[in-house]
Structure 1
Amino acid sequence: MLVEIDEHGMISHARVRHARSPQIERGKRTGAITGIVVHQTDADTSASSLNSYKQPKANGAHFLIDKDGTIYQTAAIYQRTNHVGPLRARCLATMKCKPRDFANVGVEGMHQIEMRKPPGERYPGNMEAIGIELVGRARLPTGFKPVEKEEKLTLDKLRGRHGIYDEPTAAQNQSLSWLARVLQESIQIGHEEVFRHPVVSRKNPTEAQGANWNLQVPTP
């Protein structure tokens, strides 16, 4: 299922609303697009994320999917955005390496080792990945109470550590499945190269845990 993509990397289709925010773009990609990373916004509404993308030096992804399934394109896909973070070692998931291979290197050290590998042997980073955000908030579990040193942490920091993200709506997953499919087929991204954010980087493990990009979708 192909879609028209202009020279800037904006999709021309009735299902996609243009809401491009140049503030989140970090320059033209220097390599091929090889993957898709699925996120959640940690916000209750699309408006709050769209407004944040207008701030100077804001960070964001290329697409935003509202709870009702509305798809916004917020950055040109041929532009890099900062949405991934330090990479995890893909070889650990595929059992082609062992934890001792990364002993004492730390988060940044692992990222540097991974970035020396070609795409496909590592997870896609900011230069290679299209980012898709689903509107959804991380909330503390009912009855949660911080203990010891955590009592001094802010609510946002507590949510970052212990929050559980909203389950994506059915409409969001339908739109995600459509968008992932048209990107895969229009740009020739492998079906195995779509990942939840916590898989490729060190993020809240519940982020996008209910995201499903493999639903059957009608065409066009």
Structure 2
Amino acid sequence: MLLVSKAGIVDAERIKVKIFPGLERTPMLKVNGIVVHQTNSSTSGSTFAHYQSAGAHGAHFLIDKDGTIYQTASVYKRTNHVGWLKSRCLETRKCAPAEFRDAQKIKGIKKLSAHEYKKEPLVRYPGNNDSIGIEIVGREIGKVEGYETVNEAQNGSLRWLVRELVETLGVSMREVHRHPEISYKKPSEARSAKWQD
């Protein structure tokens, strides 16, 4: 279990604290999920440079190529890391028939996302307001090749971090998702990320 300060900063030997206040938005009252991303950059430095720009989007943690884990935002603050939500009902087909039909009638990803964000947590996918984001350094190699393979050092750190966050924040392992599963991202993003043995 992680030791977390009142400000949402994690105190752990494996985590280097490098907070970017510009990533932090409003308070996050409850964490219902974890979303795993890839940076589409080849170094942590280029990601950190982006995090310093005005209005930057980013996640709460970043895992470098050597497995180093950085905390980049408070776990008690919302960050913009998810984007437009997919419909959990449409994606999983595990919902009432009437709900499925209603979701099918909504045209456009912005409207569908707004519809999803109005739903209770766990009925919808976790979004910006209730999820922790973990970025893994790795760029998109090409349209066909997709994103770089997440290496073993990164996956080892990801497994440890997810396990600790799940225990500390009371998140279900079923609510840990790759970014493209829940939002409109390239399917190869974080495809090779492994957080379970």
Query: What is aligned with 2:186?
Result: 204
CA contact (8 A) 1:92 1:99 kept: no
Say whether 1:63 aligns with 2:61: yes
CA contact (8 A) 2:103 2:112 kept: no
Query: What is aligned with 1:127?
Result: 129
Instruction: Write the distance in 1 (CA, Å) between the matches of 2:167 and 2:137.
Output: 25
Q: CA RMSD in A?
A: 1.4
Aligned in 2, Cα 1:163/1:81: closer, same or farther, shift over 3 Å? farther
Aligned in 2, Cα 1:78/1:104: closer, same or farther, shift over 3 Å? closer
Aligned ranges 1:162-173 → 2 under 5 Å = 164-173=146-155
1:182 to 164, 171, 177: 164
Query: What is aligned with 2:31?
Result: 33
2:45 to 44, 47, 53: 47
Count of residues paired in the alignment: 193
Aligned ranges 1:1-220 → 2 under 5 Å = 2-29=1-28, 31-95=29-93, 96=95, 98=100, 101-140=103-142, 164-215=146-197
TM-score (norm 1): 0.84
Give the deviation of 1:102 after TM superposition.
2.2
CA contact (8 A) 1:136 1:167 kept: yes
Q: After the TM superposition, which parts of structure 1 deviate over 3 Å for at least 4 consecutive aligned residues? A: 97-101
Identity of aligned residues (%): 44
CA contact (8 A) 2:85 2:182 kept: yes
Per mean C-alpha deviation after superposition, the further-off stretch among 201-210 and 46-55 is: 46-55
CA contact (8 A) 1:139 1:166 kept: yes
CA contact (8 A) 2:90 2:104 kept: no
Give the deviation of 1:170 after TM superposition.
0.4
Give the deviation of 1:26 after TM superposition.
1.1
Give the deviation of 1:109 after TM superposition.
1.3
Structure ID, larger Rg: 1
Unpaired runs of 5+ in structure 1? Answer: 142-161, 216-220
Unpaired runs of 5+ in structure 2? Answer: none
